[in-house]
């Protein structure tokens, strides 16, 4: 009698576990789909209502959508650059993640372009980028190179999935070069602007390539962690052979990535420090006020908490404690870098525009910018789209291993 | 030699009445809340009780080395042979790079057309031999417009006679809008 009771309970438990698992699988599809729908609703709102639906003004023409575009486009470059250590430069440890990294790079870049299309008033007029190009324009170079780069990434992915090694390596080399060119050109869009002293100069092209590699590394750590979890669940269900080998390799890769990430976070910390210090004491008109906006002004709360605290100091501490071994520390560090990066990009775009000279009073003040609901929704939707598209790829594309 | 249009703003003549702004709004159907021209208050300056506030009429500087033209990815922002900086609305993709790049904040975003918009020097009026609307409506005669390449034009005569300055010379934009602060009346003369 008592034995029966125990087995009934166990059966109930198994039933509950199965139900929970099914629910989790459903949520795994529903949540990204819901986020994408929110993004689409935001995009419709922005496209229909136009300027009044945006938080941007004539004083602050570029807002969270430009910051989001930069975040996504640069992360795409980072994914390509870091993963090419495997399939281009032949470091075996990185090869395991190459296909998924390039697929994710394609997805992230498409979402970046989608965000930019919502920001532009007339995306279809982009044809004039080809018909009447202005070679003096930073945006022309950035847009053109990113466009070619997207095609290159798609070809690279195709060859990788078809296991055509030589063309895949050739395309990988080309996209490696294009990733550097596209990203630094994106930095130059800011570097060219003489009118914004905090942006002007070669700092941003350099900063943006370093932060690209940093965000790419962080995303790959998160990806490696998810893949390990996936293997664990597949093994439980009996689907995965050679799972323990794959898991072991992913674990080793994650360790190496976290050491890379520590070096990158350290470098960005140094760049961030000297940018602020040279702006404060360099005596260039406009730079000091922008730096003060970050340190004590309207951007200070998010600058200190998210960009410096969560984005740089916390991950550096976590990575130094873990020294590449504690996987949960690595994952926490990677997530915290990505969260910090969201604000880092927002500050990068805002800090240059924050000093505003009123035309009628001639007085300098800090220009206010608060992202609107629609703008924020589009960014949320971009994240949802990336998750959804990645899940679709993982399910239907022949990724190996 | 081709024409090079420009403004000479006689600061001592501006009374901040904003007729130039109203004239421009009416002439160019500028959207509500936006403006192609403005008047900047410079002051109060000096030492009490001898204080003075100058009023500086402003609009797009139609720079010789225009940052907005340089940064436009599609060439929608361009400069005519006469030096007028214009926006080809058909080519504008709405990226706002020109707005970010203008050190004078002379541009605004047109909410209906979803393009950058700005002072055109009333090019449609110039074609009919008229002055820009802001010049025609200026009560004090503070805004003077003409061909800077023509030595006999009023603007050229003014620039020969007076010390003129440009705004933000350090930006190296070579503006075609000049400012004259010193009143000839103060020196015993009569303004032209």
Instruction: Give the pLDDT confidence of A176-221 residue by residue, as tens digits.
Output: 999 999 999 999 999 999 999 999 999 999 999 999 999 999 999 9
> Measured between CB atoms, does A61 come within 8 Å of chain B?
yes
Average pLDDT, chain A: 91
Which parts of chain B sit beneath pLDDT 70?
184-192
Residue A324 clears pLDDT 80, i.e. is over it: no
Average pLDDT of the residues in A365-375: 93
Question: Best interface-test mutation with B: which of A121, A188, A356, A361 has the largest number of B CBs within 10 A?
Answer: A121
Report CA-CA distances (Å) from A118 to A27, A278, A374, A389.
Answer: 28, 36, 10, 19
Confidence at residue A1, expressed as pLDDT on a 0 to 100 scale = 46
- Examine the pLDDT at A8 and tell me if it is beyond 70: no
Q: Does A196 touch chain B (CB under 8 A)?
A: yes
Specify the 3-state DSSP secondary structure of A311. helix
- Rounded percentage of chain A residues whose pLDDT exceeds 90: 72
Q: Give residue A25's pLDDT.
A: 84
Identity of the residue in B75, B102, B107 whose CB atom sits nearest the CB atom of A132: B75
Closest CA to A187 of A267, A262, A281, A77: A77
CB contact under 8 Å between B111 and A50, yes or no, is yes
- How high is the pLDDT of residue A333? 96
Over range A354-383, report the average pLDDT: 91
Mean pLDDT of A351-364: 87
Query: Does residue A241 carry a pLDDT above 70?
Result: no
d(Cα A3, Cα A7) in Å, to the nearest integer? Answer: 6
| pTM for the model | 0.92
Show the tokens assigned to B6: 């420009």
- Here the tokens at position A49 are 């209502």
Which value does ipTM take for this structure?
0.90
Question: Which of A118, A120, A139 lies closest to A379 in space, CA to CA?
Answer: A118
Q: What is the pLDDT of residues B157-175, one digit of tens each?
A: 999 999 999 999 989 999 9
Two structure tokens written together for A321? 């404690």
In this predicted model, what pLDDT tens digit does every residue of A253-280 receive, in sequence order?
999 999 999 999 999 999 999 999 999 9
Measure CB to CB from residue B74 to each of A50, A132, A195 and give the nearest one: A132
The mean pLDDT value for A217-234 works out to: 88
**Cβ neighbours of B68 in A, within 8 Å:** none
Give CA–CA dist B131/A391, Å, rounded.
63
With an 8 Å Cβ cutoff, the interface of chain B facing chain A consists of 34, 38-42, 58, 67, 70-76, 90-97, 99-103, 105, 107-109, 111-115, 171-172
């Amino acid at each position: 009698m008592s034995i029966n009771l125990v087995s009934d309970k166990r059966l109930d438990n198994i039933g509950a576990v199965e139900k929970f698992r099914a629910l989790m699988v459903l949520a795994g599809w529903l949540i990204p789909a819901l986020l994408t729908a929110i993004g689409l609703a935001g995009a419709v709102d922005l496209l229909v209502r136009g300027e009044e639906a945006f938080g941007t003004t004539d004083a602050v023409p570029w807002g969270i959508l430009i910051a989001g575009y930069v975040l996504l486009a640069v992360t795409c470059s980072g994914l390509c650059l870091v993963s090419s250590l495997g399939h281009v430069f032949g470091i075996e440890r990185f090869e395991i993640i190459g296909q998924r990294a390039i697929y994710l790079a394609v997805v992230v870049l498409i979402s970046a372009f989608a965000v930019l299309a919502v920001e532009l008033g007339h995306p279809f007029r982009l044809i004039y980028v080809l018909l009447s190009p202005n070679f003096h324009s930073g945006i022309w170079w950035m847009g053109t190179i990113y466009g070619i780069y997207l095609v290159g990434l798609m070809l690279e992915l195709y060859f990788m999935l078809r296991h055509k090694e030589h063309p895949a390596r050739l395309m990988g080399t080309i996209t490696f070069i294009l990733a550097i060119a596209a990203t630094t050109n994106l930095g130059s869009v800011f570097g060219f602007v003489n009118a914004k002293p905090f942006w002007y100069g070669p700092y941003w092209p350099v900063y943006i390539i370093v932060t690209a590699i940093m965000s790419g590394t962080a995303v790959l750590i998160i990806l490696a962690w998810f893949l390990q979890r996936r293997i664990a669940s597949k093994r439980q269900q009996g689907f995965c052979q050679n799972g323990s080998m794959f898991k072991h390799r992913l674990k080793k890769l994650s360790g190496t990535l976290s050491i890379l990430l520590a070096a990158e976070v350290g470098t960005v910390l140094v760049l961030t420090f000297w940018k602020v210090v040279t702006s404060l004491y360099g005596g260039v008109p406009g730079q000091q006020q922008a730096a003060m906006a970050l340190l004590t002004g309207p951007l200070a709360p998010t600058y200190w908490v998210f960009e410096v605290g969560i984005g740089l100091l916390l991950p550096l501490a976590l990575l130094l404690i873990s020294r590449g071994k504690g996987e949960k520390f690595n994952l926490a560090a990677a997530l915290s870098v990505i969260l910090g990066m969201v604000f880092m990009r927002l500050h990068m775009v805002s800090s240059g525009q924050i000093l505003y000279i009123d035309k009628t009073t001639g007085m300098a003040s800090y220009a206010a910018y608060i992202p609107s609901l629609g703008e924020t929704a589009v960014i949320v939707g971009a994240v949802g789209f990336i998750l959804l598209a990645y899940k679709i790829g993982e399910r239907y594309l022949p990724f190996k291993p | 030699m081709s024409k090079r249009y420009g403004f000479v703003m006689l600061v001592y003549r501006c009374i901040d009445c904003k007729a130039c702004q109203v004239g421009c709004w009416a002439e160019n159907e500028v959207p509500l809340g936006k403006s192609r021209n403005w008047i900047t208050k410079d002051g109060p300056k000096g030492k009490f009780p001898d204080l003075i506030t100058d009023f500086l009429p402003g609009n797009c500087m139609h720079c010789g080395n225009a940052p907005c033209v340089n940064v436009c990815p599609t060439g929608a922002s361009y400069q005519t042979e006469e030096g007028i900086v214009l926006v080809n609305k058909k080519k504008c993709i709405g990226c706002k790079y020109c707005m970010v790049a203008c050190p004078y904040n002379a541009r605004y975003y047109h909410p209906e057309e979803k393009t950058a918009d700005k002072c055109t020097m009333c090019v449609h009026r110039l074609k009919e031999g008229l002055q820009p609307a802001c010049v025609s409506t200026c009560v004090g005669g503070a805004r003077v417009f003409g061909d800077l390449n023509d030595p006999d034009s009023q603007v050229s005569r003014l620039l020969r006679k007076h010390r003129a300055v440009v705004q933000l010379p350090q930006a190296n934009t070579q503006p075609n809008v000049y400012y004259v602060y010193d009143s000839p009346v103060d020196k015993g003369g009569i303004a032209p």
